[in-house]
Amino acid sequence: MSFMVISVNECARAIELIGAECNVVSTQSEAERAFSEAILKRYPIIIIDEDVSEMISEFKAKMLKDLREPPIIVVIPSFRKPKGLRLSQLYSLISKAVGVKLKWQSQ
């Protein structure tokens, strides 16, 4: 199974060793272009780091909204310094699902 990695850090190139395609981006437009390319090439799995996820959050939602079979989007911690972005997103989703604001403290 093939997949694509989109990151702002060159360290992501190490994932190419297991057969993934990797795009290292530095701007929002480059990240959006790489994400569009991954969608058009119909990669079943797209791995993005937290930095890229922040850059393209709205664009990603628009792109995935109308897809019949969207790819699996995996958000991994940033190679620079993990921000806990995904944990915050999950916290918000779970709080909304249960109908109360859960008690949680980020480290």
Res 105: pLDDT: 67
Q: Determine the Cα–Cα distance for residues 60 and 105; give it in Å rounded to an integer.
A: 27
Q: What is the pLDDT of residues 8-36, one digit of tens each?
A: 988 888 888 888 899 999 999 999 999 99
Strands (E) located in 1-107: 3-7, 21-24, 45-49, 72-76
pLDDT tens, residue by residue, 36-67: 999 999 999 999 998 899 899 899 999 899 88
Query: pLDDT grade, residue 6 (50/70/90)?
Result: very high
End-to-end Cα separation, the chain, in angstroms: 35
Q: Give whole-number Cα distances, 72 to 69, 91, 105, 107, in Å.
A: 9, 20, 28, 27
